[in-house]
Structure 1
Amino acid sequence: MAAGSPGAHPRRLRRSANRAGLLLRPAAGAPCPDRGQAQTDSPLNLVGYAKRIFNEAEYDAVWCVVDVDQFDIERARTRARATSVELAVSDPCFELWLLLHFKAHNAFIEKGKSACALLAEYVPGYDKRLDFSRFDDRVEAAIKRAKELPAGNPSTDVWRLVEMLLKH
């Protein structure tokens, strides 16, 4: 499983992934084995990288977790569908998913820094390094809140990945 967003995964999700035979691997800045350099600088490239390094014979699913940021997400979604890579998109950023662990939020978020500031109200000193014990017991609430968001800003598909992991 390739992930393009920051941080590690909660212990509970990691255990669920291990039981399900899944590999959780942060891909941001990861070297591309065939080129020796990062191929994860955009959601589109991350999807291509995930498809190259994983094959369906080894894994049941390949996921990329990405932020919208300034990227052309539709091109990444098209490539993901064409290559059977699952894409979990957060608009504008992954911090929205984290914020949803603490409260519902459906107001437009201008940029990632704004989302970080909102999250810092619940996680003082947030700096993209996470202590997932702060989030672990709130996962179900975050899933519910994320499902209730319409497409656009703010929204996140991370719940799809997390829900799948929790079922295993």
Structure 2
Amino acid sequence: MGRERNTDYQGRSSYIASKCGKDGKWRLYIIAAEGDKTEYKYFKALKTQYEQHFNLGNVHVEFIDRKEEEAGNSSPRYVYKTLLKFSEELKKQWDLTEYDELWMIIDTDEYDNRRTDISEIEQICRENPMYKLGISNPCFEIWLILHFFDLETGLQDAIPGNTEDITLKDYIQNQSIKQRAKYCKKLWNMIHQRQKQPSYVQLIEYIPQAIPRAKILGECNPNDPHYPQSKIATEVYKLLEKLTQLSMNVQI
């Protein structure tokens, strides 16, 4: 049996409208992701860790799912469609404002087979600033790695016992583009094990360290003719920086 999925868009929209009222004081952050497991666990942990802060700060964070039979449809296009379906239902019960944000968390992955999708989504974000793109090259796991290490850390230091004299960044970047996501996920799994497999709730505590490490890597720019070959980076930090700053402004 699969996990509980947040696919009752009408029900969740009603809940948001009831919870947030109509005074216009609340900010909504609606998130849809390409990954069906890791991203779900991460953002569920984020809500668990910061729920009280978010509520006191009039911030509502909602991670939405595709239906179970559509879980394998993980292309950027489906992430956008999921977000669009939810927002259309939400608009029936809630007036979205310029302060609300609809986030798409996607991967560069192999890129050639998703170049068009990513370009179209970037255009959507330019035309409607409510839509935001949190893209990672090659994949979301690069953001998770940054919770523990910057990418200039040696592989030997991150994974004691490993004999390769290479940085984490080069370990990923030296692979072919089609293999990078696979090796990035493998690297994350090894680091996670070496860190004694902390829960995702524990992982959330390292966001303040991950954000500056992500900034150092720079931005992903799919319009760059050398992308994704020359850039290992993630822009997921932009969402997490906003949410953690909002939570830190609340006195409990």
With structure 2 as the length reference, what TM-score do the two structures score?
Answer: 0.54
Aligned position for 2:102: 62
Deviant stretches of 4+, over 6 Å: none
Question: What is the distance in 2 between the residues matched to 1:120 and 1:93?
Answer: 13
C-alpha spacing 1:151/1:160, structure 2 compared with 1 (3 Å): closer
Amino acid at match of 1:134: Q
Where 1:24 maps in the other structure, the secondary structure is strand
Q: Is the 8 A contact 2:49 2:201 kept in 1?
A: no
Q: 2:192 aligns with which of 94, 98, 123?
A: 123
Aligned position for 1:2: 31
| Matched residue count | 161
Q: How far 1:21 moved relative to its partner?
A: 3.2
1:76 aligns with 2:145: no
Where 1:7 maps in the other structure, the secondary structure is helix
Q: Which has the larger radius of gyration?
A: 2
Q: How far 1:105 moved relative to its partner?
A: 1.1
Give the gaps of 5 or more residues in structure 2: 1-29, 153-168, 221-230, 247-252
CA RMSD of aligned residues (A): 3.0
Q: Is the 8 A contact 2:40 2:63 kept in 1?
A: no
Percent identity over paired residues:
23
Amino acid at match of 1:2: I
Q: Is the 8 A contact 1:146 1:155 kept in 2?
A: yes
Q: Is the 8 A contact 1:47 1:79 kept in 2?
A: no
Bigger relative contact order (CA 8 A; separation at least 6):
1
Q: How far 1:87 moved relative to its partner?
A: 0.8
With structure 1 as the length reference, what TM-score do the two structures score?
Answer: 0.78
Between structures 1 and 2, the one with greater helix share: 2
Question: What is the distance in 2 between the residues matched to 1:40 and 1:57?
Answer: 29
Aligned position for 1:161: 239
Question: What is the distance in 1 between the residues matched to 2:51 and 2:136?
Answer: 20
C-alpha spacing 1:46/1:12, structure 2 compared with 1 (3 Å): same
Aligned position for 2:62: 24
